[in-house]
A and B are shown apart, each in its own frame.
Chain A
Amino acid sequence: MKYDIIVVGTGFASTFFLKKYLEKNPGKTVLVLERGRLFPLMERLKIRKGDAATSEKVNEAYRKLFINQHHEKFWKFSPDFGGSSNCWWACTPRFMPSDFKMKTLYGIEQDWPIDYDVLDPYYEEAEDIMSISGPKETPFPRKKDYPLPPHLFAPPDKILHEKYGTQYISQPTARASRAIKGRNQCVASSTCTECPVNAKFTIENSLMSVYENPAVTLEYNAQVYRLTTTDKAATKIHYAKDNIELEAEADYYILGANPFFNINILLNSGDKNPLTGVGFGEQLGIQALIDLKDMSNAGGSTWVNANGYMLYEGDFRKDYAGCLIETNNATYIRPEEGKWLDIMSFRLLFEDLPQKGNYITTSNNKFIPEAVFNAGRSQYALKAFEEAKKKLPGILSCLPVEQIRYLYPHQNEGHIIGGARMGTSEENSVVDKYMVHHQYRNVLVLGASSYTTYSPSNPTLTLCALSLHTADKLF
């Protein structure tokens, strides 16, 4: 049987694409190849709490699925049904319009072949699907209110919001501020990986209907490793299921896995574009702990109370990276008399740049890619951290700050970005503005693989919007 489309993976990119595709194309046949299995939240919670009769660690299986020689930098994802919606922390700010225009505005890297205004309606649609909680006013333009009201500020957040307005807002998030559509209200337990109250959006709790559509055949434990290709198209997809090698055919092949596996499939399929796999990475994340004098930080109603944009935009991005501030609601208590909760913690998220020395490649095992991070962090990002240290005391001058302490860069932000960047031609990119492969015109490479540049902002909402846009415009 030849399908209309074959989709690889069931994470955000695939599922948002499929949702729109099925709405627009009833009656089309779809095969979905998911490498993992359905690992329900309740089962993962049992394991997390030590109640299950298994020694399996939650979300640890991914470590064996790719090669990483750089132990100081690790990359985290969930290889089961729903992909990283299982383990994400549900931060959903939009990109700023400037993030799509880094070359034009700052002379950095290259512009995306798509801009904010084109994506705006798809951002809105993705926000509706995820029932995002967020404030009325944001630093990026929006045409209507978020589906759910914003989360609560803690006292220092209120002061910062009063001073900075839309530059310091309650974080737009898929952690529900009200019970909605089977999800409960977030209680700020700061245990988002497996949400104990099922408050964050996941594919499992909100979009199972996509896979229950009778047009969809979903195969679990189906591990895709290559496509058969001609000069201009793919003709077959190859996968293994229960140690049996299988193949299938379709008019279109939609790669919706994470960058490691999308790139592995492309390279195993004969993709010779020298940019394929090159320039993957993620934001540089550094925690700042801010001791406050006689001011409690208790009272926020979710994991990240707020986003600060005071270090995000400006001409300085010609020289160093923009930074998104996440005000974390983590258990950094102060073990000092009377000061237990008088502390804020900022996660500073610095944009990084795609670098040639950071790339994804194949290995001797056709199923297992290798992540090479030889170039490490760019000076563009590292300089931004040094500049942030100079600026932060002034930015926080409206608060009774006793001291600011910086932790070492976090080893992982949970964002794997790039490797099949989007652009205008094969000379500068791997896919076009619809995420169609420049050479194989019936192959789409969805998700953060396609990002031209990284942005300081969390990537998930944008990749969902891109999937909706592609499904809407191409099919």
Chain B
Amino acid sequence: MLCLCTLLTSFFKMKRRKLLKILGSVAGGAILVPSGLYLATPGIKYFAEKIIYRHLGYLKLDPGGVSQYVEDYFKGMPDSFANTIRWKSYYYLNLKTKDSINIYQLIRCYLLSSDFFQYKMDTKRTIKYAGLYDPYKSPVANPFSYIYLPDKRNI
């Protein structure tokens, strides 16, 4: 019985020290920048979208789909000061999926929520959002499964 999120969270805890250093730098930077500037800028969804485009720049993404995905993904999460700072930091510090579970989950979940695996990872077509990933509802519950391979073998 596996909870993927729990496991991944635990992995990224290993990197907490690194992240704390980074956030410490951000805090230091904040002294130099008027705090009002942070409050005036867009919220987490704005930065999450930008992070998706940055990480998946090699794919053609349907812009409306990305926006809808971000809406669904962050549904219920308040645009609090702390959350905004967190996602803004991820963006401006150019963190990668291996640096932060939040970024990893955002990108992983986007790919699983799109029709990317349904169309056999075809990078030439435009990737469309298919609904927030839920293995009990999504057309492709697990892209590693043999049933999505083009060359299904005898079973």
Contact = CB atoms under 8 A, between A and B. Distances in A.
A85 to B, nearest CB: 13
B55 A191 contact: no
Contacts of B117: 340
Given A300-B146, A333-B112, A49 B141 contact: no
B8 interface: yes
Interface string A329-343: 111110111001100
A177 B111 CA distance: 28
Contacts of B121: 340-341
A361 to B, nearest CB: 25
A49 B136 contact: yes
Interface string B101-140: 0001001100110000100010000000000001111000
A190 B108 contact: no
A185 interface: yes
A329 B111 contact: no
A76 B2 contact: no
B135 A89 contact: no
B155 A410 contact: no
A250 to B, nearest CB: 34
Given A49-B137, A341-B144, A298 B149 contact: yes
B7 A191 contact: no
B82 to A, nearest CB: 23
Contacts of A191: 135-136, 141
Interface string A192-230: 111010000000000000000000000000000000000
Given A188-B144, A407-B8, A410-B7, A333 B136 contact: no
A194 to B, nearest CB: 8
B108 A333 contact: yes
B35 interface: no
Contacts of B142: 188-190, 329-331
A189 B147 CA distance: 9
Nearest to B9: A408
A162 B115 CA distance: 35
B77 interface: no
B143 interface: yes
Interface residues of A, number: 50
Given A190-B141, A298-B144, A407 B135 contact: no
Contact of A407 (B7, B58, B107): B7
B58 A337 contact: yes
Pick the most buried of B2, B111, B112: most chain A CB atoms within 10 A of its CB: B2
Contacts of B2: 89, 190, 328, 330, 347, 410
B145 interface: yes
A414 B1 contact: yes
A405 interface: yes
A298 B136 contact: no
A467 interface: no
Contacts of A428: none
Given A152-B153, A189-B135, A405 B11 contact: yes
Interface in A333-362: 333, 335-337, 340-341, 347
Interface string B81-114: 0000000000000000100000010011001100
A10 interface: no
A408 B149 CA distance: 32
Q: Please name the 6 residue pairs, one residue from A and one from B, whose CB atoms are nearest each other, closest first.
A: A408-B10, A188-B145, A189-B141, A407-B11, A335-B107, A414-B1
Given A188-B144, A329-B145, A347-B2, 15 more contacts: A49-B137, A76-B1, A89-B1, A177-B155, A191-B136, A298-B146, A300-B144, A331-B108, A333-B108, A335-B55, A340-B111, A340-B117, A406-B11, A407-B7, A410-B6
